Amino acid sequence: MSIIFVFFNLNLDEKYKTFINRVKENLENCEEIVLINKKKLNNMNLIEQKLDDNSIVVIFNEDIINNTSYIEDFLKLVVKRKIKIFPVAIDKENRIPPVKIINEIQSYDVYEQMRCRNLEGNYLAIAEIFARKVISEVHPLIYDKDGIIFISHRRIDGEDIAARLSDKLKLQGSREFRDNNKIVVGENAQKKIDEVLTKCDVFIFMHTPRAITSEWVKKELKYAIFHNIPILWIRIDEASIKDLEIIPTEKPHLEYKSIDFKNDDNLNNIVNEIKENIFELKYNKISNIYDYDKALKRLMTDNLVLLDKNQGIYKVEATRKGYYYPQRNIKEYIQLFERNIKEEDINNKEEYRDYDSFIMLNDRIDKKEIIDKEKNIVKDNIKNFYYNWKNYLRGDLKMKNKEIIISGAFPDGSEFTKRILTEALIIFAKAILKNGYTLTFGAHPTFQELFFEIYKEEYQINNKSILKMYISKFFEKEYSKKKKELKSKVQLYEVEQKENLLESLSLMREEMIGRKEVGALICLGGKIKNDKKEEGIREEIKIARKYNIPVFIVGSVGGCSSVVAEEYKEAWCDLNNASKDLNEEFRT
């Protein structure tokens, strides 16, 4: 898909050039841009080659007022091909496109967008908002511009600021959910909250000082983390971070004082910052679709055929096993989503027939749900789909008498990188458990809660033997009160302490890694130190290799593991016997 950008009159005033250049910059950073100028409009054959049915044409009403003769033939072609057109009006006097063939199409009204956001004269901010709107059209299965924004807050000290934020978001056209104003009298409040939470596209965590004492807020936050809902963490009035059970990332995305929400100008600025961060959180998940695509192709090879790239639809066909008489092949259609699956997605399946099932997949769904029994249309988690097909194609997976160790910590760096590390931890932990291995780890306070929640989600029965946690008695004062609780969740191995912290950690690492039961060590993140000898990941790699345990280094999550992955990229054989290609995928 390409964005056709009609742009040829540079003799307009500064506000026009400011807006149009910022839109172009934002789109060029994300998508393929085809620039149409006067010269190219004289060569319709060339233009037609650039158009496809999923293109988007962006035109500026002010730009074509004096150039209609150049653009009419082009627009006739675009309308004939039923290609989407986005007219833009910089000034309120030019809200209607000045070409008859498209003058009934609603323009993006820059003046009105500034007015409703109290951003008079801020063409840069509105240009970025418009660019996000275009991108949401380019990636309809990934970015939902109308998705629900779930505002999680504690009423006792967050109700007023959440209400002000909610009202302002609603005024600007966003679909927000805040329990106080969306639950009808007599309705089951928690049931309604849970229902909306499963459908939201962004989760705003309003971290006020009293929020951490609310079981409901904690429950909502855990749900968002474990179901890959983009989380925007907003810290209010320097609320305590150390008391959070699960930290969405190492530090908040945004920080404010509660008084900031009482001034309307301040509130407009806050909402604009929130919307910009929401877009980045959503857009940064685009890579997930490509990762899923790659994983399925590797697993299924010739069994998987791409039918529609823009709609993310594939055909899966494989020999049917396990019956005495010949049967037709299994035939399924699948569709990959990053965003939530909506009603209109489900209803648009008439052209696909003659299948066993049509399966709509994303990584937020808890479990398989049959949504149309007559047509066999199903929603499921993409990882469930992957592992079910893996078992079918390669045989049932048995419990293995081996452990895989996950090592690391949150690195210093961007919030995006830290969110990627959280997602990576969840992905690796689930994969280890689903493939029949024991998950072993050191007692990093944030990581352990993630792993406990994953264990609860994957295993409904009490089977703590599949989790092992090592902890140094150097920290005994800190964990002694929780020891009984920890032992109920995990096989807990306490290691004697040494004279100081570094020596105690070294002994704990040696006892955790240097055992014949350990099948592999996976390194993610980790702090970068001035003295490399103090970097835990380097020490753990050294211990693993001493015992001939293979090591895999994830380089794309930032921190020490990214640095070490670069150092080993020409010497993977020093770490494991896997292929260079596999190690490169871990690195990148």
DSSP state of 553: E
DSSP codes, 135-193 = HHHH-TTT--TT-EEEEE--HHHHHHHHHHHHHHHHHTT-EEE-HHHHS-TTS-HHHHH
| Model pTM score | 0.62
* Coil, helix or strand at residue 459: coil
Q: What is the 3-state secondary structure (H, E, C) of 194-210?
A: HHHHHHCCEEEEEECCC
**Half-sphere exposure of residue 282: CA atoms within 13 angstroms, side-chain side:** 29
Amino acid 534: pLDDT: 85
The confidence score (pLDDT) of residue 508 equals 94
Q: Is there a contact between 123 and 19 (Cβ–Cβ < 8 Å)?
A: yes
Mean pLDDT value across residues 10-26: 77
pLDDT tens string 143-164: 676 788 999 999 899 999 999 9
Judge whether 17 and 10 are in contact, CB under 8 Å: yes
Pairing of the two strands 313-318 and 304-308: antiparallel
Q: For residue 382, give the nearest of 345, 324, 334 by alpha carbon.
A: 334
What are the DSSP calls for 228-241, one per residue?
Answer: T--EEEEEETT--S
Phi then psi for residue 328, to 5 deg, are -70, 160
pLDDT per residue as tens digits for the range 54-90: 788 888 888 777 777 778 888 888 888 888 888 998 8
CB 444 within 8 A of CB 410: no
Query: In angstroms, rounded to a whole number, what is the distance separating the alpha carbons of residues 504 and 451?
Result: 23
Inter-residue contact 460 to 433 (CB < 8 Å): no
The answer for residues whose C-beta is within 8 angstroms of residue 572's C-beta and 6 or more apart is 578, 580, 583
317 Cβ neighbours under 8 A, 6+ residues apart: 303, 305, 329, 330, 331, 332
Q: What is the CA radius of gyration of the chain?
A: 27
Element (H, E) at 394: helix 382-394
Q: What percent of the chain is predicted at pLDDT more than 90?
A: 24
> Which pLDDT score, from 0 to 100, does residue 552 have?
96
Residue 411 DSSP label: P
Residue 186 is predicted with a pLDDT of 46
Of 396 and 316, the structure prediction assigns the larger pLDDT to 316
| Overall residue count recorded for the chain in this entry | 588
Check pLDDT > 80 for residue 9: no
Contact (CB, 8 A) for 314 and 307: yes
pLDDT at residue 184, as a whole number: 45
293-302: pLDDT as tens digits: 778 888 888 8
CB count within 10 Å of CB 43 equals: 10
DSSP character at residue 172:
T
Query: What's the confidence (pLDDT) of residue 539?
Result: 94
pLDDT band per the 50, 70, 90 thresholds, residue 189: low
Question: Are 339 and 142 contacting, i.e. CB atoms less than 8 angstroms apart?
Answer: yes
Average pLDDT, the chain: 83
Q: Which among 54, 8, 9 has a CA at the least distance from the CA of 31? A: 54
Q: Which residue has the higher pLDDT, 140 or 86?
A: 86
Query: Strand, coil or helix: what is 57?
Result: strand
| C-beta of residue 244 within 8 angstroms of C-beta of residue 212 | yes
pLDDT band for position 206 (cuts 50, 70, 90): very high
- Report pLDDT digits (tens) over 459-484: 544 566 788 999 999 998 888 888 88
Largest pairwise CA distance in the chain: 84
Model pLDDT, residue 233: 94
CB 190 within 8 A of CB 219: no
Closest C-alpha to 197, from 234, 229, 233, 240: 229
Each residue's pLDDT tens digit, 330-344:
999 999 888 888 888
pLDDT in tens, 75-128: 888 888 888 888 998 888 888 888 888 888 888 888 888 877 666 777 887 887
For residue range 478-508, list pLDDT tens digits in order: 888 888 888 888 899 999 999 899 999 999 9
Task: Let me know the angle formed at the C-alpha of 98 by 46 and 67, rounded to the nearest 5 degrees.
Answer: 50
Nearest-angstrom CA–CA distance, 229 and 366: 12
pLDDT on residue 461: 46
pLDDT of residue 495: 94
DSSP assignment letter at 327: -
Residues 6+ apart with CB under 8 A from 288: 228, 338, 363
Q: In what order do the strands lie in the sheet with 202-207?
A: 175-177, 148-152, 202-207, 231-236, 254-256
What is the average pLDDT across 451-456? 78
Q: DSSP secondary structure string, 70-128?
A: HHHHHHHHHHHTT-EEEEEESSGGG-S-SSGGGTTSPPEEHHHHHHHTT-TT-HHHHHH
Distance CA 49, CA 122 (A): 37
Alpha-carbon distance of 315 to 307, in angstroms, equals: 7
% of the chain exceeding 70 in pLDDT: 89
- How confident is the model over 538-578, as pLDDT tens digits? 999 999 999 999 999 998 888 899 899 999 988 999 999 99
Residue 181: pLDDT band (50, 70, 90) is: low
Out of 116-125, 269-278, 325-334, least confident range: 116-125
Handedness of CA 218, 220, 223, 224 (dihedral sign): negative
Q: What is the pLDDT of residue 31?
A: 64
Q: Which of 144, 249, 160 is nearest to 202 (CA)?
A: 144
Give the Cα separation of 179 and 333 in Å (integer): 37
Are 234 and 204 within 8 A, CB to CB? yes
Q: Which two tokens stand for residue 460?
A: 């409904």
Convert the pLDDT of each residue in 343-402 to its tens digit.
888 876 767 778 899 999 988 887 888 988 888 999 998 888 988 888 888 765 566 789
Distances (CA, A) of 429 to 348, 374, 448, 586: 35, 36, 11, 15
Please, what are the domains in the chain? Answer: 3-138 (3.40.50), 148-284 (3.40.50.10140), 287-394 (3.40.1350), 403-587 (3.40.50.450)
